[in-house]
Amino acid sequence: MKVSTRVRYAVRALAELAEGWSERKPMKLSEVARHQGVSKKYLEQLFLPLRAAGIVVSVRGPNGGYRLARSPKEISFFELFKILEGQGWLMDCLRSSDACPRARSCRARKVWMEINRSFHSALKKMTLNDVIGGNGGRG
Q: Give domain status of residue 98, yes or no.
A: no
What kind and span of H or E run contains 114? Answer: helix 109-125
* Predicted pLDDT of residue 137: 45
- Of the pLDDT bands very low, low, confident and very high (cuts 50, 70, 90), residue 133 is confident
CA–CA separation, 89 and 78 (whole Å):
11
Is 138 part of any domain?
A: no
Which has more pLDDT, 88 or 36?
36
State how many domains the chain has. 1
Domain with 35, as residue range(s), is 5-88+127-131
Whether the per-residue pLDDT at 139 is higher than 50: the answer is no
Taking CB atoms within 8 Å and a gap of at least 24, the contacts of 31-39 are 31/65, 32/66, 36/9, 36/12, 38/9, 38/12, 38/13
The answer to the question of residue 99 being in a domain is: no
Determine, yes or no, domain membership for 108. Answer: no
Q: What pLDDT does 135 receive?
A: 52
Assess if residue 47 is contained within a domain. Answer: yes
Query: Closest by alpha carbon to 40, among 73, 65, 74, 72?
Result: 65
CATH of the domain at 57: 1.10.10.10
Whether 67 maps to a domain, the answer reads yes
Q: Determine the average pLDDT of the residues in 16-39.
A: 92
Summary mean pLDDT of the chain: 88
pTM, whole model, 2 decimals?
0.83
Q: Give domain status of residue 53, yes or no.
A: yes
Mean pLDDT for the stretch of residues 73-85: 93
Instruction: Indicate whether 110 belongs to any domain.
Output: no
Geometric angle at alpha carbon 54, from 26 and 76, rounded to 5°: 95
